Amino acid sequence: MVKKNGSNDIFKGRTLIIATMHRKEKVIAPILESELEVHCKTVSDLNTDKFGTFTGEVDRKLTAMDTVKAKALAALEGTTETLAVASEGSFGAHPSSFLMSANEEMLILIDTKNNLEIRGWHLTTETNFNHQEIKNISDLKEFEKRIGFPNHGIILKTKEIGGEEKILKNFQSPEILRSKVLELLKGNKTIIAETDMRAMNNPTRMRAIGHAVNDLVKNIKSLCPDCKAPGFSVSEVVRGLRCSLCNLPTKSVKAYIYKCKNCEYACERAKENVTQEDPMYCDFCNP
Ligand SMILES: [Zn+2]
Ligand SMILES: [Zn+2]
């Protein structure tokens, strides 16, 4: 429990472990060190891949929310530290616009000493998440250009008829990648090229993680009005924003419920700068 009149000083000077094996500390550490005055480090024997990989070797079995928590706790295991941050990304169709690809980044800060769990989140359509079948070298060159290779990584998945799928990655240059593809094409294999979504091979994703870190910091700095514990953030949304034309409630968000996980204090805060919804989103005016 955080004592009354606690604040972000509870993190000051402490060691914070970043649970990553994909160099996410590059973007996470500078922000947290300057905002929370912690000392960030990584642990060398952590295998976050056991929770699922983007490349398909290991499927993610837990939800993103449970995975990120399991990663943070795994990083603390076997250490005497009590503070950890982990992140987890998801990629796919945008939740409200299925034609666009989206990247959702989730972060968690776990403080086992003070029994705190604070989250950060970022959703963006700025992602190069993509895949394509490669039938010849010009397909490959087009895909390289589209996703920004070699600045961003490419993964190849290849399969012979009746054979097992093979995953090839870590191509350092277009020459190495192209000669591998030529070799596979000669062997009559199906080739699927995919964007490498691992943070260290994807600067676009690294930027999205940076935005999620900023959201985490914002939530950490939000203190409970009652007990002053950090992490006073949105736990639920309240829908029913009224239509500006017919005044009936719509499905749009009108307010947020903030809840303290330390003392259970909760309050509702109206969504800023919005009092009415456009009739375009009203089921009555625009069914
Ligand atoms: Zn509280
Ligand atoms: Zn209406």
- Check pLDDT > 80 for residue 54: no
CA–CA separation, 87 vs 67, rounded Å?
9
Q: Compute, in angstroms, the gap from residue 245 CA to the centroid of ligand 2.
A: 5
Q: What would the mean pLDDT of 227-248 be, rounded to a whole number?
A: 94
Cα gap 218→122, rounded to integer Å: 12
Nearest ligand to residue 284 Cα? 2
Residue 233 Cα, ligand 1 centroid: separation in angstroms? 11
Please state, as a whole number, how many other Cβ atoms lie within 10 Å of the Cβ of residue 74: 18
Q: How far is the CA of 107 from the centre of ligand 1 (A)?
A: 21
Rounded CA separation 32/88 (Å): 17
In 3-state terms the chain splits into helix, strand, coil percentages (rounded to 5) of: 30, 30, 45
How many angstroms separate the alpha carbon of residue 232 from the centre of ligand 1? Answer: 7
**Which of the four pLDDT bands, split at 50, 70 and 90, describes residue 4?**
very low
> Considering every ligand atom, which ligand is closest to the CA of 251?
2
Measured CA to CA, the distance from residue 189 to residue 203 in angstroms comes to: 30
Read off the amino acid at residue 61: K
Kindly report the pTM of this predicted structure: 0.86
8 A C-beta contact, residue 286 and residue 279: yes
In this prediction, residue 118 has a pLDDT band, given cuts at 50, 70 and 90, of very high
Q: What is the pLDDT of residue 37?
A: 95
Q: Which DSSP state fits 95?
A: S
Query: What digits encode the pLDDT tens for the residues 257-285?
Result: 999 988 989 999 999 888 999 999 999 99
> Quick one: pLDDT at residue 3?
53
pLDDT score of 2 more than 60: no
CATH of domain 8-127+200-224: 3.90.950.10
Q: 123-172: per-residue pLDDT in tens?
A: 999 999 999 999 999 999 999 999 999 999 999 999 877 788 899 999 99
Q: From the CA of 284, how far away is ligand 2's center (Å)?
A: 5
Residue 283 identity: D
Considering every ligand atom, which ligand is closest to the CA of 229?
1
The C-alpha R_g of the chain, in whole angstroms, comes to 23
Q: How far is the CA of 174 from the centre of ligand 2 (A)?
A: 55
Which tens digits make up the pLDDT trace of 96-107?
777 889 999 999
Expressed in angstroms and rounded, the spacing between residue 119 Cα and the centre of ligand 1 is: 16
- Distance, in Å, from the CA atom of 6 to the CA atom of 231, rounded to the nearest integer, reads 12
pLDDT at 164: 84
| d(CA 5, ligand 1 centre) in Å | 10
The ranges assigned to domains in the chain are: 8-127+200-224, 131-196, 232-287
H or E segment to which residue 233 belongs: strand 233-239
**Across the chain, what does the average pLDDT equal?**
91
- Identify the CA nearest to 132 among candidates 181, 198, 95, 175: 181
Q: Is the pLDDT of residue 111 over 90?
A: yes
Report percent pLDDT > 70 for the chain. 96
Tokens of 149: 């290779």
Per-residue pLDDT, averaged over 53-80, amounts to 85
DSSP letter assigned to residue 265: -
Tens-digit pLDDT profile for residues 206-236: 999 999 999 999 999 999 999 999 999 998 9
CA distances from 2 to 80, 111, 220, 225, 261 (A): 20, 11, 13, 13, 10
Cα 282 from Cα 252, distance rounded (Å): 9
